[in-house]
Amino acid sequence: LAGNAAGDRINRLYLNDGAGGFPATGTAISADAHITATLALGDLDGDGDLDVVAGNRTSTGVGPNRFYLNNGSGSFSAGANLGNENDETYGIALGDLDGDGDLDVISGNANGADRRYLNSGSAVFPASGTAVGSETDATFRVALGDADGDGDLDLIAAKQGSANLLYLNSGSGSFASSSAIGSETDSSWTPVLGDLDRDGDLD
């Protein structure tokens, strides 16, 4: 799957023939012509196949993020808005934030607060997202992982020109105030979590 930010701005699917071969031209997943900065795959509606979440801008500026439900054969629904915000999203992360067994969505935004969208089942999301923290400095990418070992997913936000931030999950999908990761104020693009020193926690 390729998110398209130029040309006709149509996101396209390339199905593998089983031997590592892909078609010369992709299949449009919808007629939407946003500028897509990021994509994520996950089973939003619990039917066993991978759906698509797209973090978007439009040709005239920022625009709503969208999600597309897979019919099981690699074709998708017409798509629906994920919230009503125009936040210029560069990062999308999927995970079960509130422990109810379905995938929720975090958007990392360059034009406003990062947001969470809790899935109430079968890809039903609120009309608007809930801000994560009070910060409005630009986020490029986000990652989810259990940073404090309490069994839920915490949030790491990679920031533009300010310290990267950690938000600890309460267990219900709400997050505590942020804490800085280090003192550096570089422009970070991508956070990655893993147990680098093999001590049982995420670095």
Q: What is the pLDDT of residues 114-142, one digit of tens each?
A: 999 999 999 999 999 999 988 888 999 99
pLDDT at res. 2? 81
Write down the mean pLDDT value for the chain: 92
Mean pLDDT of 15-28: 94
In a domain, 171, yes or no: yes
Is 32 within the bounds of a domain? yes
Tell me whether residue 2 is in a domain: no
Confidence at residue 31, expressed as pLDDT on a 0 to 100 scale: 85
The rounded percent of the chain whose pLDDT value lies above 70 is 95
Tokens 């899935």 map to which residue? Answer: 119
Write the CATH number for 52.
2.130.10.130
Residue 13 — very low, low, confident or very high, per pLDDT cuts 50/70/90? very high
Higher pLDDT, residue 100 or 133: 100
Q: What is the pLDDT of residue 82?
A: 95
CA angle 147, 148, 149 (to 5 degrees): 100
Tell me the residue type at 123: A
Model pTM above 0.95: no
- Look up residue 76 and give its two tokens: 């998708």
pLDDT of residue 113: 92
Mean pLDDT for 180-194 is 92
State how far the alpha carbon of 38 is from the alpha carbons of 56, 99, 179, in Å. 7, 25, 25
Is the pLDDT at 59 greater than 60? The verdict is no
With respect to residue 155, please indicate whether it lies within any of the assigned structural domains.
yes
Residue 60 predicted with pLDDT over 80: no
C-beta of residue 10 within 8 angstroms of C-beta of residue 33: yes
Domain encompassing residue 75: 12-181
- pLDDT at residue 78, as a whole number: 87
Residue 4 lies in a domain: no
In a domain, 189, yes or no: no
The whole-number pLDDT of residue 198 equals 98
Does some domain include residue 63? yes
Q: Is residue 173 part of a domain?
A: yes
Rounded to the nearest 5°, which phi and psi values hold at 87?
-105, 0
Q: Rounded to an integer, what distance in angstroms lies between the CA atom of residue 189 and that of residue 184?
A: 14
Number of domains in the chain: 1
